[in-house]
A and B are shown apart, each in its own frame.
Chain A
Amino acid sequence: MENNKDWLYVGLATLTIIGIIGFSILNNPNTDRSTQLKGQTQNQATIEQTAQSADIDTLLNDLDFQENQVNQSLNDEPIDVLSDD
């Protein structure tokens, strides 16, 4: 009976140790999976940031066209509708 109790404690202790080790491995930032996930997230953020930066640069360049449109509309010489007289 006493012997059986010992085995129960040993079993519980073993399970606890296995649980702790398993939890540590899964949450360890140095494990491959965690590093991979972290890398993917960083890459995604970098891609999004680069895309947004490129977007801003493109939109800034597009302002050139808008300014030309304004200048053209302000400098348009009116066609003389009385020129046939």
Chain B
Amino acid sequence: MKKNIFKIIIFTICILLVGSIVVASPITQSEKAAAAAALISKQKTRAIEEINRRVVSLNKAIDKVNVVKKITNDQKNALVAQVQAEKLVLQQLKEKINTDVDKDVLLIDRKTIVQKYRTFALFEPRIAIITYADKILNLVNLMDAETTDDNVKIKIIEAKNKAQKAIDDVSILTPEGYPGNRSVLLASRDLLTAARQQLNEARVMMKQTINSSVSE
């Protein structure tokens, strides 16, 4: 009798276990599918936000390039064309990401945003360096017209050469050359820092000349 009761209990437990597995399995699968879909959606949204952020930055870059005065028209046109091309491929990537359904393909596309298109790593510093150099060259002209002192003029010319070199060096950089060409960006920044220092020194010398001529 006891043996029969034991068999019934074991049988009941087995039925319950099998039933719970059968009932629970479809829910878990659908939950997993829903979670995966939500993750893909979130990843897409994030990726598109990042692309939009880059496009906004590139639009600002075009505005900045257009007001730069001390680069040649060829340099300016080449730079704007590069930025426009970068914008175009980012827009195309955005459309592709929107249609991605496979998580592995989406992962590759998301990596591409950062690894292939160097908007923030290369374009922003390049434009910032060119804008900075342009301001220095503008000052060079103003200061040179204000002095006849040869020593001051030497400092001004040295500053001019450094700013011009910075423009020439960063103008030819390409996204494909990154991160190797980061050293050029850093060297150009250092050139501009040195050029600015020379202009400050030249300014001090100019003021000393003015003061001494007034006291005479």
What per-residue 1/0 map shows which CB atoms of B116-146 lie under 8 Å from chain A?
0000110011001101100110110011001
Question: Across the interface, do B121 and A56 meet the contact criterion of CB distance under 8 Å?
Answer: no
Task: Check: B90 CB closer than 8 A to any chain A CB.
Answer: no
Please indicate the chain B residues that have their CB under 8 angstroms from the CB of A76 in the complex. 120, 124
Please indicate the chain A residues that have their CB under 8 angstroms from the CB of B43 in the complex. 84-85
Task: Check: A70 CB closer than 8 A to any chain B CB.
Answer: yes
Report the bound CA distance from A79 to B185 in whole Å. 20
| Interface size in chain B (residues, C-beta < 8 A) | 35
Most B-side CB within 10 Å, residue of A60, A71, A72, A76:
A60
Task: Check: A55 CB closer than 8 A to any chain B CB.
Answer: yes
Question: Across the interface, do B203 and A57 meet the contact criterion of CB distance under 8 Å?
Answer: yes
Task: Check: B153 CB closer than 8 A to any chain A CB.
Answer: no
Interface residues of A in 1-55 (CB under 8 A from B): 52-53, 55
Most B-side CB within 10 Å, residue of A59, A62, A74:
A74
Question: Across the interface, do A63 and B132 meet the contact criterion of CB distance under 8 Å?
Answer: yes
Report the bound CA distance from A63 to B152 in whole Å. 19
Question: Across the interface, do A59 and B121 meet the contact criterion of CB distance under 8 Å?
Answer: no
Question: Across the interface, do B196 and A63 meet the contact criterion of CB distance under 8 Å?
Answer: yes
Report the bound CA distance from A68 to B189 in whole Å. 11
Question: Across the interface, do A82 and B131 meet the contact criterion of CB distance under 8 Å?
Answer: no
User: Nearest chain-A residue to B122 (Cβ)?
Assistant: A73
User: Which of B15-23, B26-34, B79-87, B107-115 interfaces with chain A?
Assistant: B107-115
Question: Across the interface, do A74 and B185 meet the contact criterion of CB distance under 8 Å?
Answer: yes
Counting chain A residues whose Cβ lies within 8 A of the other chain, the interface size class is: 20 to 34
Question: Across the interface, do A81 and B47 meet the contact criterion of CB distance under 8 Å?
Answer: yes
CB-CB under 8 A for A66 and B185, given A52-B142, A56-B146, A81-B47: no
- Min Cβ gap A81→B in Å is 5
Please indicate the chain A residues that have their CB under 8 angstroms from the CB of B200 in the complex. 60
Question: Across the interface, do A69 and B131 meet the contact criterion of CB distance under 8 Å?
Answer: yes
Question: Across the interface, do B135 and A70 meet the contact criterion of CB distance under 8 Å?
Answer: no
Task: Check: B96 CB closer than 8 A to any chain A CB.
Answer: no
Report the bound CA distance from A63 to B32 in whole Å. 56
In the complex, given contacts A73-B124, A76-B120, A82-B110, what are 19 additional A-B residue pairs having Cβ atoms less than 8 angstroms apart?
A: A56-B139, A56-B203, A57-B203, A60-B196, A60-B200, A63-B132, A63-B135, A66-B131, A67-B192, A67-B193, A69-B128, A70-B189, A73-B120, A74-B185, A74-B189, A78-B114, A84-B39, A84-B42, A85-B107
Instruction: List the 9 closest A-B pairs by CB distance, nearest first.
Output: A66-B132, A73-B124, A73-B125, A70-B128, A73-B128, A69-B128, A81-B50, A74-B125, A63-B196
- Jot down 13 A-B pairs with beta carbons below 8 A, ordered by A: A52-B142, A56-B203, A62-B135, A63-B199, A66-B128, A66-B135, A67-B132, A69-B132, A73-B128, A78-B114, A81-B47, A81-B113, A84-B39
